[in-house]
Amino acid sequence: MSPTQRWTFALKPASWPKLLVPAVLGQALGVRSAGGVSAAGLGVGALYTVAILVFIVLMNDWADEKVDRLKREMFPQGCSPKTIPDAILPARSLLIVGSGAGLIAAAVAIAGSYALDRPAVAWMGTAGLLTFAAYTLPPLRMNYRGGGELLEAFGVGFLLPSIQVEAQGGALGQSEYAVLAGFAVISLASAIASGLSDEQSDKAGGKRTVASMLGNSVARVAVMLALVGGAASWVVAGFFIEPMRVALLGGASVVIFYALKLRTLSSSALTNEFEAQRRYKGVLHAAIWRGAVVLSALVLLERAIAI
């Protein structure tokens, strides 16, 4: 592998929508709330998202070296290559670049708050960085202690989009809270599902996730409850918040459509059935990401029609 290929592998582009989609959702809500588009706000939000994305991806691999090695030893033919155990990149490189990306994210948030005259961008951006650090890094390492899924759902589903709203010059009102509360619950489904393929290696490595503590079956039930629960909250909110009704119901419809498809795949996504779990998580991600994108598009369409 060339250096470019090694870094591309380590940065896991297929996982980027996990943060890019919430950022788009937040930007759309910010445009609606502010009543117009701020190019500077879009730039600050984009730079922050990219920096914190690099921080999360690389530092997660750095912090999870032990359990990644365990998984490769336990399932040498069953799981995908791991960045450090398979010598794609050294741990020191991930630590240096990942830490640097975290510092850049903090700098963008602080500088952006002055440039935009939005003080909340600084403290919210810093809070976002600390939230993701608490998930992975010592001393908290919540994904090892338990509760990491809740922290991830809050960071990805609520805090990151909220930063984008603030960067656009918008404000979190009733409509925005309704969207983001539901999206945080939906994001919890993804956080829980991410532990399915690592159930046994996480248990052996002392990592406390829903799957490693409660098992595959309970984790899959929790995934479905979070996915449907978040979509249901959008439906309920849609009947009470008239300005966002079409967007909320549209986004919920997409999530529910894929949730029905996910239900048919659930029974095959058993412990160590890695290929079945990959298909299962693919449909889950389609539910979350496409639902949020449709909701975002409808929010912007509503704004354009209003103009």
| Cα 124 to the center of its chain, rounded Å | 17
CA distance 307 to 164: 22
Q: Residue 306: pLDDT band by 50, 70, 90 thresholds?
A: low
pLDDT at 215 over 70: yes
- At residue 128, the pLDDT reads 94
Token pair 């939906």 is at which residue?
Answer: 186
SS3 147: coil
* CA–CA dist 144, 140 (Å, integer): 8
Q: Which run of H or E residues covers position 202?
A: helix 199-205
pLDDT tens across 23-66, in order? 999 999 999 999 899 999 999 999 999 999 999 999 999 999 99
| pLDDT one-digit tens code per residue, 237-294 | 998 888 889 999 999 999 999 999 999 999 999 999 999 999 999 999 999 999 999 9
Q: What is the pLDDT of residues 146-197, one digit of tens each?
A: 999 999 999 999 999 999 999 999 999 999 999 999 999 999 999 999 999 9
Give the end-to-end CA distance of the chain in Å, rounded to a whole number. 51
CA-angle at 18, arms to 156 and 229, nearest 5°: 65
Q: What gap in Å lies between CA 247 and CA 295, rounded to an integer? A: 5
Closest among 300, 306, 307 to 42, alpha carbons compared: 300
Cα dihedral sign for 289, 94, 207, 155? Answer: negative
Task: Tell me the torsion sign for CA atoms 19, 25, 27, 29.
Answer: negative
Non-local (6+) Cβ contacts of 88 within 8 A are: 1, 6, 9, 10, 81, 82
pLDDT in tens, 83-142: 999 999 999 999 999 999 999 999 999 999 999 999 999 999 999 999 999 998 988 899
Instruction: Please give the structure tokens belonging to residue 21.
Output: 């989609």
CA–CA separation, 209 and 198 (whole Å) = 9
Confidence at 78, pLDDT banded by 50, 70, 90: confident
Query: Residue type at 43?
Result: G
Angstrom distance (rounded) from CA 78 to CA 3: 26
Amino acid 288 reads: I
Q: How distant, in Å, are the alpha carbons of 18, 55, 104 from that of 50? A: 12, 9, 10
Q: Which residue, among 226, 225, 223, 230, has the nearest Cα to 280 in the 3D structure? A: 223
C-alpha to C-alpha distance for 230 and 224, rounded to whole angstroms:
10
pLDDT band at residue 218 under the 50/70/90 scheme: very high
> Taking a C-beta distance cutoff of 8 angstroms, is the pair 155, 183 a contact?
no
Name the helix (H) or strand (E) containing 169. none
Q: What is the pTM of this model?
A: 0.95
